[in-house]
Structure 1
Amino acid sequence: MSTRKDWNHTPEDMPIRVSPLWRRPLVLRDVLAWYAGAWLPWTSNVAILLLAILAYTYASPTLAEAATPGLWIGVIWLRNLALAFCVAHGLHLVFHGRGWQGPDHKYDPRPYPRRGRMFTLDDQLKDNMLWTLASGVTLWTLYEALIWWAMANGYAPVTSWSQSPVWFVAVFFLIPIWESFYFYWIHRLLHWGPFYRFHALHHRNTDVGPWSGLSMHPVEHVLYFGTALIHFVVPTHPLHLVTHLMFYALYAITTHTGFEGFWAGGRKRLHLGNFHHQLHHRYFEVNYGTLEVPWDMWFGTFDDGTPEARARLRGRKRQAG
């Protein structure tokens, strides 16, 4: 386990492990437990899905309305702005602004937010809020509006519950798998020389808070939300589109809380912060992907939070130097 001088808190279930779907021998019970834990009974995935259903039902156009650009694009922008602000700032107040949970389950010992000339407006919180709302919400909305329009005009394939109920349900569970593939390779690209100048804005946050998750350069937002282009290839429903982009946006916020989760009554009631990704913010050259598919293990960049993983990273740096 990492030493206390490195971390204020580390999860109990160390070392970090990837989805049991990829472990050998395959243990079906572990696989079912992994996916049940991601969706039942109350998780970030479920919360985001419910928000997506509400957003689709009450704050989205019909396909007929989306056939022509109009005020519906502004409605989507306002909806996404309100969601990003409420989720990010609500979590910020709980964990950092008011500190209602205390510091016990915070990963990094340093306080968030910090001040410094490396941040826009010399303030980490203002920096993160600016890039999240001005750039992140806008690019999120533009991608969503583009694909709504494409679906309405026959440029993107559309399916429905009545056409294929099994596929309709399956898409919701496939979104995190696609995200694991897409995010890993886009993230590796962003750490490559010509693109890192854009990704560096996100990596100003060596310690993170909820507003850090979507704090990115506009070029990175273009690449990040480019995940939605899969809807030009795979038949989906507009509800899948809303869920997909909301998952990508809000999951970034919830996994950057800097805390292991929301605790009450001595128990973790909701898992939020992702220690696997917190290691990436600290050490940069590890854990580019997620735990759903072990891309980092296959390409030698996996850090499971142990001293042995840290030694491997130092060895790679010495060889590269």
Structure 2
Amino acid sequence: MDDLQYGTRNKRGDWAPNEPAGTAPLFAFPPRPLAVLRWLPHYFLPYNLLFAVTAVVWWRYVLPDVETMKTLSAGWILRLFIVNCAALLVFFGAFELRLYILRAQGNRFKYNGKWPSEQKSKAFFFESQNIDNMLRTFGTGMPIWTAIEVTILYAYANGYVPWLSFAEHPVYSFCLTLVVPIIHETHFFLLHRTIHWGPLYRWVHSVHHNSVNPSPWSSLSMHPVEQLGYLGVAFWHLIIPSNPLLALYQLHYAGFGAIPGHVGFDKIELTEDTSVDSHAYIHYLHHKYFEVNYGDGLIPFDRWFGTFHDGSKQGEARMQARYEKKKARANAAAAK
């Protein structure tokens, strides 16, 4: 595919799409029902449906029976941890292998013209972004992921929280399934905005932002505190009436779903003429500019709070104006 039909590349080799990034029309005002109908397939495909299916697969083929989950025994917990790690290795690794190791589509549709493997930095373990990212993902991320999963399953198995079955509450369960992405977006925005507060950014979130040029393994490369907060979105299903299958879906949506924003390419080529949109541009701009796009665009939080950047010159101007106001406030405070 010719990526220059869809965007432009600057002198540094960075590619940007012609169309500015947008937010979903779901919460637009005034309402745009036709736009919502056109957008609706993108709500389910390709990612949301995939993560829902993985939750069902885990429930049917990976997890033990409920009676076993009433006890915290090493056997089923270790098996779950190994399966989680293997699945993540395959899923994230497939993107890494095709796009960054084999470079099957070269730099077509790649936002940043440089390759992380060619950029050494003392900010990373062994001065390697990939090694650092993988160590953080599997060293702390996957144990935390599994610990959250086990905690939720143990709570449901022992009746510590209400377990609403799909058979007895079909309408409610269906609606809750539909809002799993909305729960994620709300949780993510609030958490993300919080850890950009000065001290928390320096102590916690800066670890993730070391990957200025993110790649697949950057997705869950975070400080353990951030990993707990991010993956802990699944704990909402211990608060709201729910069931363990939906909690699994919520966890998989966060865990496996971290990759779209970090894949580094706007489109993933399938054949010479077809591709899949990564929906990565909004979050890529966050990694590039730091103080924009705290959400992923499903809910227009950033538009509402004035932190949205769509990649256009107008978006750049709004960002610079906001920086100038922030600088002026800081100077005024220092002068007192």
Counterpart amino acid of residue 325 in structure 2: Q
Instruction: Tell me the C-alpha RMSD between the 2 structures.
Output: 1.7
The equivalent of 1:202 in structure 2 is 208
Pick one of 209, 214, 218 that aligns with 2:220: 214
Aligned-residue offset at 1:105: 1.0
CA distance in 2, matches of 1:93, 1:182: 31
Residue type of the alignment partner of 1:21: L
Q: Is the 8 A contact 1:156 1:231 kept in 2?
A: no
Moved more, 64-73 or 264-273: 264-273
3-state DSSP of counterpart to 2:15:
coil
Partner secondary structure for residue 275 of structure 2: strand
Deviation readout 1:263-315 (Å, 9 max, x if unpaired): 13344432225100000000000000121111111111000111111112112
Unaligned 5+ runs, structure 1: none
Corresponding residue for residue 86 of structure 1: 90
What corresponds to 1:134 in structure 2?
Answer: 139
Residue identity in the other structure for 1:55: W
* In 2, Cα distance between equivalents of 1:147 and 1:5: 50
Q: Tell me the secondary structure at the aligned position of residue 307 of structure 2.
A: coil
| 59-68 or 87-96, which deviates more | 59-68
Tell me how far apart the structure 1 counterparts of residues 296 and 103 of structure 2 sit (CA, whole Å).
28
**Which shows bigger deviation, 76-85 or 268-277?**
268-277
Tell me if 1:76 matches 2:80.
yes
Is the counterpart of residue 111 in structure 1 residue 115 in structure 2? yes
**CA separation in 2, counterparts of 1:301 and 1:7?**
26
Kindly tell me: are residues 5 and 315 of structure 1, through their superposed partners in 2, closer, same or farther at Cα, counting changes over 3 Å? Answer: farther
Contact 2:309 2:315 in 1 (8 A): yes
Shift of 1:3: 7.0
Structure 1 CA distance for aligned equivalents of residues 195 and 99 of structure 2: 29
Residue in 2 that maps onto 1:280: 286
Deviation at 1:179, TM superposition (A): 0.8
Distance, in Å, in 2 between the alignment partners of 1:298 and 1:285 is 15
| Residue among 314, 321, 329 paired with 1:308 | 314
TM-score by length of 2: 0.90
Alignment of 1:156-235 (within 5 A): 156-196=161-201, 197-235=203-241
Separation of aligned partners in 1, 2:31 and 2:13: 33
Identity of aligned residues (%): 33
Distance of 1:23 and 1:268 partners within structure 2: 30
**SS across alignment from 1:136:** helix
Alignment pair present for 1:53 and 2:56: yes
- TM-score (norm: length of structure 1): 0.94
**Preserved contact between residue 294 and residue 307 of structure 2 (Cα < 8 Å):** yes
Larger CA deviation: 84-93 vs 274-283: 84-93
Is contact 1:280–1:287 with CA below 8 Å preserved after alignment? yes
CA distance in 1, matches of 2:161, 2:88: 27
Q: 1:34 and 2:32 equivalent?
A: no
Does the CA-based 8 Å contact 1:262-1:271 persist in structure 2? Answer: yes
Kept in 1: contact 2:237–2:246 (CA 8 A)? no
Change (3 A) 1:39 1:268: farther
Write the distance in 2 (CA, Å) between the matches of 1:73 and 1:272: 33
Deviation per CA, 1:19-57: give whole Å up to 9, x if none.
Answer: 1122233221211221212224xx122222222221221
Show structure 2 runs of 5+ residues with no match: 1-6, 328-336
The one-character-per-residue Cα deviations of 1:237-265 (angstroms, maximum 9, x if unpaired) are: 22111111111011112331101132133
- The separation in 1 between residues aligned to 2:315 and 2:324, in whole angstroms, is 14
